[in-house]
Structures are given as C-alpha cells and as structure tokens.
C-alpha cells in the first residue's frame, strides 16, 4: 500500500523551472495539442551563400533579358 502512494506524493516535491508538476504536465500537453508556427528564419553561413547565389542568378537572367531587348 505504501509503495503505491509514494510516487503520487513525490509529485508534490517536483519542480522544474519554477513550475509545479501540474503546470509542467499542462505545458507538455499544450505543446503536443497546439502546434505553433515557428517565428524564426533560417540563418547561418550556408543560408547566406544560398540566398546570395540566387540573387546573383536572378541578376544575370535580368541582364540577359535586357541585352536581348536592346539588340532586337
């Protein structure tokens, strides 16, 4: 009987980031049920290279179009 009650009593002493056990379980439940769109954008060196190369590719295409228009 005592061994079945001990786990329930330990929840009263559980604290994570100043949250009680009930609030902790509620936060876990909310994170599973309510998905949220992430507000950050990708970054880093690899991302910058990709973006810069795409911009350069677009500039080259636009320059080719402009030169073709001028010659015709």
pLDDT at residue 5, rounded to an integer? 80
Q: If residue 20 lies in a helix (H) or strand (E), which one and from where to where?
A: strand 19-20
What single DSSP character describes residue 11? G
Distance of alpha carbon 40 from alpha carbon 33, whole angstroms? 21
Structure tokens belonging to residue 19 = 């949250």
pLDDT at residue 41, rounded to an integer? 67
Distance of alpha carbon 36 from alpha carbon 7, whole angstroms? 33
Sequence-distant (6+) residues with CB within 8 A of 12 are: 21
19-64 confidence digits (pLDDT tens):
888 898 898 898 888 877 777 766 666 666 666 777 777 777 777 7
pLDDT at residue 26, rounded to an integer? 92
Distance of alpha carbon 13 from alpha carbon 6, whole angstroms? 11
């Amino acid at each position: 009987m005592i061994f079945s009650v001990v786990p329930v009593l330990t929840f009263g002493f559980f604290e994570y980031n100043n949250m009680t056990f009930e609030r902790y379980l509620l936060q876990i439940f909310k994170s599973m049920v309510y998905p949220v769109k992430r507000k950050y954008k990708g970054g880093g060196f690899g991302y910058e290279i990709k973006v810069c190369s795409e911009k350069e590719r677009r500039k080259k295409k636009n320059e080719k179009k402009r030169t073709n228009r001028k010659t015709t």
